[in-house]
Amino acid sequence: MDYSDNKQIYRKIKEKGLALDCVCEVGVYYPETSNILDFVNQGVRTILVEPSDDSLKRIDTFFENKDNITIHPVAVSDKNGTLELSKAEASTFISDLPKSPALINDNFKVTENETVTVPCVTFDKIDTLDIDLLSIDIEGAEWYVIQNLKSRPKVISIETHGKFYTNPYINEITQWINENNYKVWYKDHSDTVFYKEGELELTSSEKFALTWMNFRINLRRSKKYIFWPYYQLRK
C-alpha cells in the first residue's frame, strides 16, 4: 500500500500557514503510516483512536517517549458498547457495514475466525471540542465520527473513495459538510480533504488539480460498469 499521500496533508497545511493546537486521527493502523505523524513529532497535542490490539501495541512502542498523545483503544460507532471487527490488515472494518474497501475492492469475505469483538463509543465521548485537524479512515464507518462531532475542525480528511469503492454514507457526509460550511480542498487516491470556509483560499493550481482528480475518479468508477460482468465473476 502506498502511504505517500499521508505526508501531503502536513505539507499543505504548513504551506497555508494554518495553526493547529489539536489534531486527531480515527483509525491509525500503524503509527509509521499515520496521517498526522508529522504533527505528532512537532509536539502538537494529539488524539489517536484505534481499536486493534496489534496496532495498539505498535502505537504504544512507537510513541512511548511522546507526552503529547492521548490514545483511545476503542472503535467509533453510532452506539456505546461493543461491536465486531473483521480483520483485513490495513482494511479492517466494522463487520455489519454495508460497504467497505475490503468488501468492494478485494472481495473480502467475512468469516468468524477473522472477526474480533472490541469496545466502541460514540465520538462525542472522545471529542475535546477543540480539534483543529480531524483525519478519519475507518473503512466505511467515517459517518459515525462526523454525526457526533462537536468540534468544528479547520481541516477534515475523510476516506470517501478508492478504486471501485464509494463510502456507503457519502450522502450523509456531503449533507453535513454543506450544512456546516465546509468546502473540498483536495482529493487523493482514497481521501477527500475539506476545509472550513474562511480558513484558506484555493489557488488556481489547486482548483485545477481538484478538477483533474475528480475526472480520474469518475473515469475509474466508469470502468466498474464497463467491466461489470467480469467483476461479478470474480466474486
What's the start-to-end Cα distance of the chain, in Å?
A: 22
How crowded is residue 135: how many other Cβ atoms within 10 Å of its Cβ? 24
Phi, psi of 25 (to 5 degrees): -125, 125
pLDDT tens digit sequence for 185-194: 999 999 999 9
The phi, psi pair for 197, rounded to 5°, reads: -55, 135
CATH 2.60.120.10 fits 6-233, yes or no: no
Q: In this predicted structure, what is the pLDDT of residue 234? A: 52
Rg (CA), the chain: 17
| High-pLDDT (> 90) share of the chain, % | 72
pLDDT score of 221: 74
Confidence of residue 1 (pLDDT cuts 50, 70, 90): very low
Tell me 213's DSSP state. H
pLDDT in tens, 71-94: 999 999 999 999 998 887 777 887
Question: What is the pLDDT averaged over residues 220-226?
Answer: 66
Cα(83)–Cα(203) distance, integer angstroms: 43
pTM comes to 0.90
Overall average pLDDT of the 171-176 stretch: 98
Q: Which three cell numbers mark 15? A: 504551506
**Domain chopping of the chain, boundaries:** 6-233
Which region among 10-19, 54-63, 100-109 has the lowest average model confidence (pLDDT)?
100-109
Instruction: Return the exposure string of 174-184: e unless at least 16 CB atoms fall within 10 Å of the residue's CB, then b.
Output: eebbeeeebeb
Give the up-direction half-sphere exposure of residue 73: CA atoms within 13 A in the CB hemisphere: 11
Rounded Cα distance, 75 and 59, in Å: 15
pLDDT number for residue 27: 96
Helix (H, G, I), strand (E, B) or coil at 94: strand
Express each pLDDT in 100-150 by its tens digit: 877 777 667 777 678 889 999 999 999 999 999 999 999 889 999 999 999
In this structure, which long-range contacts are made by residues 213-220, counting pairs with CB atoms below 8 Å and at least 24 apart in sequence? 213/186, 213/187, 213/188, 214/187, 217/161, 217/187, 220/163, 220/164
CB 139 within 8 A of CB 93: yes
What are the CA-CA distances from residue 126 to residues 30, 73, 74, 148, 186 (Å)? 20, 11, 10, 10, 27
**pLDDT on residue 215:** 94
pLDDT at 97: 85
